[in-house]
Structure 1
Amino acid sequence: MTWIMYAGKVGLREMVMLGDALIRRDAEQKCCSIGQLESAVTDFLRIASFRGRNRFQTCTRGLKLIRENTDSFPETLLRLALMQRGLPCPQVNYCLELPGGTGGRGERLFLDLAYPQARVAIEYDGRQHAWQWDRDQRRLKMIGDAHWVHVAATNADLCSEQSRAALVASVADRLERQLGRRVRVGKTLTLRQLSDPRRALAH
């Protein structure tokens, strides 16, 4: 209900970020499920006055863009940037199963965002990664050995319209190479346009 109340105070982008945060992958941070959020919004509609309908619409639009099992706000913003420019919604925290050696068990990597059909991974590279360079290099090698293409995004890629557009173009280029066909990048949509009930969004 706190999330619903915020719909009258903040914008749609913040509602999506807060909604993602409520249903994080980390069990200690996860407050509820997407189904529970949807039920709360439905219950709110039953008791809402006419003045509350705008808040309800903001919540339903937010629910259309929220995804379960995210890890951070930058990952949310990265996903929205890709979708706003016409790319399909990538899978969140996709589990990449890696084969093991002879008689050995394979490893599992959770990719921030992924297009499994194209074998393209997009991950946010925050400042904390400066302290785990060796581990990250091993991770990148494992992703490459699995014949996946990796795109790293930083805060600089998300800080302006121009940098976001360049990042999306880079991801689209990787998708084209992997799929062997044209991947179109459209004009930038607002989040209200993207969450229009008449639009079909791939999960």
Structure 2
Amino acid sequence: MSKPSLLLEALHGEHETFAHECLALQARTGIIAPFALRSALKLEEVAAPYMHPSRREGVFVRDFDLVVTDRNHRSHVQGVNFCEWDMPLLLAVDEHGLSFTHGPCTVVTMAQRLSPRELIVLAESMLRRDPALRRSSIDEFLMYFDMLDDCTERRNRRAFRGSKTLRKLFPLVRDNTDSPQESRVGLVLMQYGLGRPVVNYRVLLPNGRVVYLDMSFPLLKIAIEYDGVFHLGQQLDDELRQMMIEEEGWLVIRVRGTDLGSVESEQAFARRVADAVERRSGEQVLLSDPMPLLELAKYPELSYDRPWLAA
């Protein structure tokens, strides 16, 4: 089974379990309101972003998140967080009749609770290459930003801080990725000045098989393949795939979850990639200090201004 299929199966299983819990909550309390935040992600079958421990307090210790338009609609129900949102809502309904915030709306409402990197990762989780995992589009995000702008202008109020942050970061959001970890890997390399690798580059093997590289610098034939939970049980296939890719002249760099998450591990990983670029290009590659994503988003062209990224 392919990696996207395994991910979809896991997300669908979580959806079904959680949907029955939501139905039980509604039957027990009589409260019918759209689900939001983490609850919306489960119902829309989207992988949840990482939360820093310092940001997990409050709403993220509750079992359910509901959205209400004003505080008068809040109730004191154990295990339920009521998220107040008086801006336009994008809603969807699942096969169980459960209503929840959809795509861009969920991302915006979570924006203040996420780091810039995880906010980008979550936005890209809505924009998957696989149609079965794709939940939104770049155009729908832009449309929702316009809706929020119109609303704040009519009400003569300042823009919601989370919306402003997401809009600042949006030049770095990439369409058609395959997994959250691939997004994180690309962002780390970009922050260290290596540029963001191409995702899903198509390689035709001699046996006629077509493979799509997780990430790559095609001009130098450097492939970056992520080993994650959804590769378990397919190790042999991964090894055969790597062997065939290498026979076509590609240098394969494998990255694991332990390569991300700390400054030291991410710097070591970036150095590994930089060393590979040096070997293939014959040019010295110096790592920059990691640039904050909000700063990098002001100059997105820097992410692509590298000789090994040229068309």
Q: TM-score, normalized by length of structure 1? A: 0.88
Pick aligned residue for 1:137 from 219, 233, 239: 239
Superposition CA RMSD, Å: 1.9
Q: Which residue of 1 aligns with 2:52?
A: none
The alpha carbon displacement at 1:32 in A equals: 1.6
What is the identity, as a one-letter code, of the residue corresponding to 1:38?
L
- 1:56-71 residue pairs with structure 2 within 5 A? 56-71=163-178
1:82 aligns with 2:189: yes
Report if aligned partners of 2:169, 2:294 keep a CA contact under 8 Å in 1: no
Q: Which residue of 1 aligns with 2:122?
A: 18
What is the identity, as a one-letter code, of the residue corresponding to 2:238?
D
SS in 1 for 2:285: coil
Moved more, 179-188 or 54-63: 54-63
Report if aligned partners of 1:67, 1:92 keep a CA contact under 8 Å in 2: no
Q: Which residue of 2 aligns with 1:194?
A: 296
The alpha carbon displacement at 1:56 in A equals: 3.3
What is the identity, as a one-letter code, of the residue corresponding to 1:184?
L
Report if aligned partners of 2:172, 2:300 keep a CA contact under 8 Å in 1: no
SS in 2 for 1:71: coil
1:3 aligns with 2:110: no
Moved more, 35-44 or 87-96: 35-44
Moved more, 175-184 or 141-150: 175-184
The alpha carbon displacement at 1:116 in A equals: 0.6
Taking only the aligned residue pairs, the percentage that are identical comes to 31
Q: Which residue of 1 aligns with 2:49?
A: none
The alpha carbon displacement at 1:29 in A equals: 1.4
Pick aligned residue for 1:117 from 219, 222, 230: 219
Q: Which residue of 1 aligns with 2:40?
A: none
Structure 1 residues 190 and 107, CA gap change in structure 2 (3 angstroms): same
Report if aligned partners of 1:45, 1:53 keep a CA contact under 8 Å in 2: no
Structure 2: segments with no counterpart, 5+ residues:
1-104
Once residues 50 and 183 of structure 1 are traced to their aligned partners in structure 2, the CA distance between those partners, rounded to angstroms, is 47
Q: Which residue of 2 aligns with 1:174?
A: 276
Once residues 166 and 56 of structure 1 are traced to their aligned partners in structure 2, the CA distance between those partners, rounded to angstroms, is 33
Once residues 230 and 137 of structure 2 are traced to their aligned partners in structure 1, the CA distance between those partners, rounded to angstroms, is 28
**Structure 1 residues 115-154: Cα deviation after superposition (integer angstroms, max 9, x where no partner):** 1111111111013434222111110111101101100001
What is the identity, as a one-letter code, of the residue corresponding to 1:148?
W
Pick aligned residue for 2:203 from 73, 83, 96: 96
Moved more, 142-151 or 3-12: 3-12
Q: Which residue of 2 aligns with 1:28?
A: 132
Once residues 223 and 128 of structure 2 are traced to their aligned partners in structure 1, the CA distance between those partners, rounded to angstroms, is 20
Structure 1 residues 137 and 199, CA gap change in structure 2 (3 angstroms): closer
Greater Rg over alpha carbons, structure: 2
Report if aligned partners of 1:64, 1:195 keep a CA contact under 8 Å in 2: yes
Which of 1 and 2 has higher RCO (CA within 8 Å, sep 6+)? 1
What is the identity, as a one-letter code, of the residue corresponding to 1:194?
L
Once residues 120 and 267 of structure 2 are traced to their aligned partners in structure 1, the CA distance between those partners, rounded to angstroms, is 20
The alpha carbon displacement at 1:199 in A equals: 4.4
